[in-house]
Amino acid sequence: MSVVRCHQAISLDGFSAGPNQSLENPLGEGGERLHEWMFETAAWARMQGLPAGRPETPDSAIVDEIASDPNVGAYIMGRNMFGGGHGRWDESWKGWWGENPPYHRPVFVLTHEPRAPVPMQGGTTFFFVTDGVASALRQAQAAAGDRDVHVAGGAHTIQQFLREGMLDELYLHIAPILLGAGERLLENVGEPQMTPVTVVASPRVTHIRYRIDH
């Protein structure tokens, strides 16, 4: 059955980005520490074309799943994640990811500014949705068919999906760090009914997949 799901790295004190996010520092101060466990994996080395040799750990398998899950048929992301939240967005802006973005599928970008679809190399096409999250979800589900819809982020977009009861699965990657300040993920999201269904542990991070019942 097709589900709507997302992955998010958070600190143990609940932040999905550090303070003072900016164009130069989209993860906020210290925010890169949320992802350090990821940078150490074999999957990351493959994605970045780095030398092989890192071990195939459970963390690495999860990075593979985040990066290119064959069960995902479409992505949804917020305007900030695409790059439009920092005054950078004009018609020439095609996201942070170069000519061949890592999505390889339709990506529905939430925004208030209409724009024609932007086809990229490798199967990614950015579509721009101006009439809200429910519309974005309908379009993404239509594009995904039997496959899942992955809500890629950022935190504000995930919060909207949680609040509207439109997310079926939240997979948190809890880094054993405290950021102390920044953007909290689980704030203003209503009262989702969550059940932890999968837990994967390593000394670097704890992965908990929550099913959300509606």
Report strand pairing: 169-175 vs 206-213: antiparallel
Angstrom distances, CA of residue 102 to CA of 67, 68, 106: 7, 8, 11
Are 128 and 77 contacting, i.e. CB atoms less than 8 angstroms apart? Answer: no
Q: HSE-up of 80 (CA within 13 Å, CB side)?
A: 14
Distance between CA atoms of residues 202 and 136, nearest Å: 35
Output 50 or 178, the one with its CB closest to a copy of itself: 178
Q: How far is the CB of 175 from a copy of itself (least distance, A)?
A: 10
Are 46 and 21 contacting, i.e. CB atoms less than 8 angstroms apart? Answer: no
**C-alpha distance across the termini of the chain, in Å:** 15
Q: How far is the CB of 136 from a copy of itself (least distance, A)?
A: 24
Note the residues at the interface with a copy of itself (CB under 8 A): 12-14, 172, 174, 176-178, 180, 184, 186-187, 189, 191-192, 194-197, 199, 201-203, 205-206, 208, 210
Output 122 or 180, the one with its CB closest to a copy of itself: 180
Q: How far is the CB of 22 from a copy of itself (least distance, A)?
A: 23
| 3-class state of residue 8 by DSSP | strand
Q: How far is the CB of 208 from a copy of itself (least distance, A)?
A: 6
Distance between CA atoms of residues 84 and 111, nearest Å: 8
CA 140 from centre of chain: 15
Q: How far is the CB of 34 from a copy of itself (least distance, A)?
A: 14
Output 20 or 121, the one with its CB closest to a copy of itself: 20
Q: How far is the CB of 66 from a copy of itself (least distance, A)?
A: 19
Place of tokens 């429910």: 134
Output 125 or 202, the one with its CB closest to a copy of itself: 202
Output 157 or 159, the one with its CB closest to a copy of itself: 159
Output 52 or 199, the one with its CB closest to a copy of itself: 199
Structure letter (DSSP) for residue 84: G
